[in-house]
Structure 1
Amino acid sequence: MTKQQRTQIIRILLLVGTITSMFFVPWILVKAWILPLPATVQEQVNQAIGHGFDGMIVYVDQGGKPPAFYAGGWKDRENKIPADPKSLFKIASISKLYTAVAITKLAYAKRLSLDETLADYFPELVGRIENAEDITLRLMVQHRSGIPNFTNNPTYWENEQENGKKALEFALDLPASFEPDKGYEYSNTNYLLLRKLMDKLLGYSHHQYIKEEILVPLGLNNTFFSLSEVNMDDVMSGYYVGIDTDFKTNENGMLATAEDVGIFIRALNDGTVFKAGEQEIYSSIYEYKHGGLVPGYQSLAEYHQDIDAVVVQFINTTDFQGYEWNLSEIIYSRIVKILRKGDRGE
């Protein structure tokens, strides 16, 4: 076979692969990707609602400019209440950033050691969590522990609200996903255990510690740990494709406004959330951006250094296949592109 023939075959295979992948990718994702970029952020939000999202909030804090708020669709679909950029939203795994900062502060204060093991702090879990004697707190923060993710256990979702009260049980007595520090697997169990550890060491709720060490110093008055702390009328409704219900009343942990999340993300990235010496520890163990996903709610929050901008995106529509998450990532990337072009649509 000549070099030219091999090249032609490779081109054909690439073309077939592209066509095959396009066939299996929902056309809404393709459409969202290839549409001409709108001129403003608000136009992009409106376009996203046209793709099928129920409601959306975007917060932009760009250096040298006042913060900007954008919204589209519904805060409450049934009662026809428009999306409000000041609504409270379930931030789900974005909360891991707050946990990681709290762990950093406790490590710097020598109230815990990142190099001590799960067995050191929870000896009762030896034999219940494989490799507990070799899993350090550092590996747990980094999702390199190999501890199974309790939300990957199908039985957990048979009654998620009730099972959430005993979530650790759904990760016990299972084989490790890998040996400690020999792989990576995002595991909510890591952070469940880290929060339990803080409660144990502090002698009071880690919520209080995070409030005193992070929320109050940053003036984050619209960040909460539970639905029990808020007025339900302030919470954005949440929807799941194919299920005709509002997930707003489900308890899923932390809630915040997009502005509060944005202020925190900037403080995390510019270091103002830390005391002297703490940021070096944090940079060695965790990341500076995050997303969040629970039924009815998905979020993305990141600082973009090249344009000195924090962008927070909240969308109150999720689905089983993950297409809505993929769509949200496409929309987020397009909003950042609009900002890079220098037009926020004010």
Structure 2
Amino acid sequence: MRKPAFLAFAAVALTSVATAVPASAAAPSTLQRDADALRDLGVTGVQVRVTGPDGRSRVVTSGVADVRTKRPVPSNGRFRVASVTKTLTATTVLQLVGEGRLSVDDTVEHVLPGVVQGNGNDGRKITIRNLLQHTSGLHDDMPSIDSPESYALHRLDTHTAEELVARSMNHKPDFEPGKGWHYCNTGYLLLGMVIKKLTGNPWDTEVRNRILRPLGMDHTTFPGESPRITGPHARGYQLFETGGLTDVTENRDSAWAGAAGGLISTTADLDRFFRALDAGRLLRPAQQRELRRGVPVQGPQAVVWPGATDGLGLFSRPLTCGGSYSFHPGDILGYKTRNAVTSDGRRSVVISMSTMLEDSLDHTVQQEDAVSALIENVLCTTR
């Protein structure tokens, strides 16, 4: 996936249906203020969905869905969720573990013989847990678009998971497996390959059959090689270091991001997924415990997410008002997604932003800080 300048990550109860309430009728002024603060930073479109203990949701929007037409941001708009996909991939892998078809302590070599080797890379030393938890040491070598010119040239490029894993093998590992932490998209591409090897189906087919259909996530899809987002959506924009704001809506990032970041979804679908996962509705108890066994994050993430830990496809971060929340971020060309569920499962929030601010490090950090403040304000409101 395309990565921000300083970040290495490109993130409902089944018996109830969340009801979206128009912002003018129910949204607290603080929530609208926080959404507007993101808009004022330069984010063209913002959609925020908050769900409370009663399962009812409210949605606020800010900005516009299209800078040319000025049409409003749809409250049910679809967007590229980027690395939030990883949590669905991890959930699928852990379901396979629960079925006895895999162990988190199995090596990559055991499942995918001969795939991870060369230049010091050794699949015999890397476990499934290492891949899930970003402790494999594998070096990421993902394609990058960093200007309007490179977008024009490469927006329709395609890459297979096998090709991108092979690119990683051209580099020495960043560290010995289990001896460090570094966010790694390559690890999740390998997990997608693991799912296919064990089931005979592409990763997205298993995600659809095991998660999307059972939860009724009808607006979550994998677009394959289509560069378009179907259905209502805000157009995605990138503020590059040079060249200014660029419409980057149509591209094939999702196609090659695959199991590491390829899904398109809505705030309603993601809210339903994270609440179901938090409630233990998708995993057996043993795998639910493994999901939350975290290690401290390191590097830039430790700075922007103080105190955060990384489980098996799900992060956790403390709240300033007490308690903590689970989450997984998602950054991809034109779209930034954030989400959070409180440790007691009572409150949740999903935020979609249709602009990546990457013209400067300061601007990128400001966007991250503003969305973190929004999450804190939502989750601490009634605590």
TM range (shorter): 0.7 to 0.9
Q: 1:294 to 1:340 in 2, by over 3 A?
A: closer
> Which residue of 204, 209, 223 maps to 1:207?
204
> Which residue of 223, 230, 233 maps to 1:235?
233
> Which residue of 334, 337, 344 maps to 1:296?
334
Coordinate RMSD, CA, aligned: 2.7
Q: Which runs of 5+ in 1 are unaligned?
A: 1-37
Q: Distance in 2 between matches of 1:88 and 1:121?
A: 35
> Which residue of 289, 298, 317 maps to 2:355?
317
The 5-angstrom pairing of residues 155-234 of structure 1 reads 159=154, 161-162=156-157, 164-165=159-160, 166-226=163-223, 228=226, 232-234=230-232
What is the deviation of 1:280? 2.7
The 5-angstrom pairing of residues 260-279 of structure 1 reads 260-275=269-284, 277-279=286-288
What is the deviation of 1:313? 1.0
Q: Distance in 1 between matches of 2:235 and 2:124?
A: 43
> Which residue of 106, 110, 132 maps to 1:141?
132
Per the normalisation by structure 1, the TM-score is: 0.80
Q: Distance in 2 between matches of 1:325 and 1:247?
A: 17
Structure with the greater alpha carbon radius of gyration: 1
What is the deviation of 1:159? 3.6
Q: Secondary structure at the match of 2:371?
A: helix
> Which residue of 329, 333, 336 maps to 2:368?
329
Letter in 2 for 1:246: D
Q: 1:329 to 1:134 in 2, by over 3 A?
A: same
Letter in 2 for 1:264: F
What is the deviation of 1:160? 6.3
CA contact (8 A) 1:318 1:324 kept: no
> In the TM superposition, what whole-angstrom CA distance separates every residue of 1:182-219 from its partner, at most 9, and x where no partner exists?
11110000000100111122111121111111111111
Per the normalisation by structure 2, the TM-score is: 0.73
Q: 1:154 to 1:254 in 2, by over 3 A?
A: closer
Letter in 1 for 2:235: S
Aligned to 1:88: 78
Q: 1:105 to 1:307 in 2, by over 3 A?
A: closer
CA contact (8 A) 1:131 1:179 kept: no
Q: How many residues align?
A: 306
What is the deviation of 1:152? 7.7
Aligned to 1:247: 248
Question: Are 2:343 and 1:305 equivalent residues in the alignment?
Answer: yes
Q: 1:85 to 1:325 in 2, by over 3 A?
A: farther
Aligned to 1:259: 268
Q: Distance in 1 between matches of 2:115 and 2:264?
A: 30
Q: Secondary structure at the match of 1:150?
A: coil
Q: 1:313 to 1:76 in 2, by over 3 A?
A: same
Aligned to 2:11: none
Letter in 1 for 2:266: T
Aligned to 1:7: none
Q: 1:63 to 1:104 in 2, by over 3 A?
A: same
What is the deviation of 1:294? 0.9
CA contact (8 A) 2:74 2:233 kept: no
Letter in 2 for 1:144: T
Q: Distance in 2 between matches of 1:174 and 1:136?
A: 19
Q: Secondary structure at the match of 1:84?
A: coil
Letter in 1 for 2:113: P
What is the deviation of 1:60? 0.5
Letter in 2 for 1:302: A
Name the structure where helix makes up a greater proportion of residues. Answer: 1
What is the deviation of 1:154? 9.3
Q: Which runs of 5+ in 2 are unaligned?
A: 1-27, 255-261, 294-310, 315-325
Aligned to 1:73: 63
CA contact (8 A) 2:98 2:283 kept: no
Q: Secondary structure at the match of 1:140?
A: helix
Greater Cα offset, 318-327 or 287-296:
318-327
Q: 1:167 to 1:84 in 2, by over 3 A?
A: same
> In the TM superposition, what whole-angstrom CA distance separates every residue of 1:48-97 from its partner, at most 9, and x where no partner exists?
21221111111101112620111111112222221112000110001100
> In the TM superposition, what whole-angstrom CA distance separates every residue of 1:248-279 from its partner, at most 9, and x where no partner exists?
11122201101111111111111122245432
CA contact (8 A) 2:126 2:136 kept: yes
Q: Distance in 2 between matches of 1:236 and 1:183?
A: 38
Aligned to 1:132: 123
Q: Distance in 2 between matches of 1:296 and 1:111?
A: 37
Q: 1:106 to 1:306 in 2, by over 3 A?
A: closer
CA contact (8 A) 1:131 1:180 kept: no
Letter in 1 for 2:332: V
